[in-house]
Structure 1
Amino acid sequence: MRTAGLKPDNVTLLGLLFGCNHAGLVDEGYSLFKAAQMEQPGILKPEHYACVVDLLSRAKQFEEAKKFLEELPFEPGIGFWKALIGGCQIHWNRELAESVAKRIHMLDPKDTSSYILLSNVYSAAGSWQSVSMIRREIKEKGLKRITGCSWIEVQDKVHVFFNGDCRHSRSDEIYSVLEACPYTREDDEHEQLVV
């Protein structure tokens, strides 16, 4: 883009950061952000900053991610902390996950996802007593896990599909189409498809 004399807008930059994030291109993503920060600071939105936190935490660069959060030009919202705890889950960073979960709970005591992420960190570490404690806390507080869902609009009608839900009027037809779809996975095991 730059060789053609073009500069990215905020959407293009976010797409580039997201791509670098999920491709593990930490240095490239961070360089893109720093270049935008110096050359086009006006295009940076909170989403760009959150993507950098996610980029760093997924790459196990927790100290850099924490420093980045401390130096934000605004107060980070709950999504920033969820990005950090998500990295903790990937890399089993129990101590930081506990600290970040406390911060998330202060911002939103009813946020179930942070409890789930922390429970996953404990589970990965084999700390089953801590997993039980988190589950008990979720139950005592009356928190509910939000079921994953997808939606699609077909002929001006929105269809919502929940994880594991077979109540759609055409679920048999949907499942038969999904069964016919080819899948490729390294381990040749197929994950259960849910509609």
Structure 2
Amino acid sequence: MRLIFLGPPGAGKGTQAARIVAKHGIPQLSTGDMLRAAVAAGTPIGVKAKAVMDAGGLVSDEIVIGIVADRIEEADAKRGFILDGFPRTLAQAEALDTMLASKGLKLDTVLELKVDQSKLVDRIVRRAAEARAAGQPVRKDDDPEVFKTRLEAYNRDTAVVAPYYAARGQVVDIDGMKPIDEVTAAIEKALGAN
């Protein structure tokens, strides 16, 4: 089961990915986590990434794809994986397809959490308040102004990825505004159909 989660920040991708991980035993792959791990491990691609980051640059799509390619070779990803927050651009989506094809793999499903973006700020403010009330740290990106900037970046750069996969018949739309358990049930239904 090789999946991609798409949707704007605050749509619930992380929450739903964690549930899939728990139920299906496949890893959720975050490019940020993979990048830090590759740098820490000193892998060849991690060394390249470290040099770029140390120079203050953005890691290229080629390096990110290399890190994903290395990570999906690990034992825990043999049965599948969830890509959350990647691909972020059309170029990354195309490079991911090429890399997977070179390994004889393909994506099974692209799940897009559809949400009312005008209500996302309220969701983020509520999430921050719940974290404070529970004595947990509040995520830096749960600041409404930071969140609005992230949402603008998503709409500018990443929203084009869904039509790319939709043209291939791979996207399943999920209503991300429903209660969490209903979203999970809709995702499980979509996964059962594939």
The two structures share one fold, judged by TM-score above 0.5: no
Structure ranking higher on relative contact order (CA contacts 8 Å, 6+ apart): 2
Please give the TM-score of this superposition, normalised by the length of structure 2: 0.28
Please give the TM-score of this superposition, normalised by the length of structure 1: 0.28
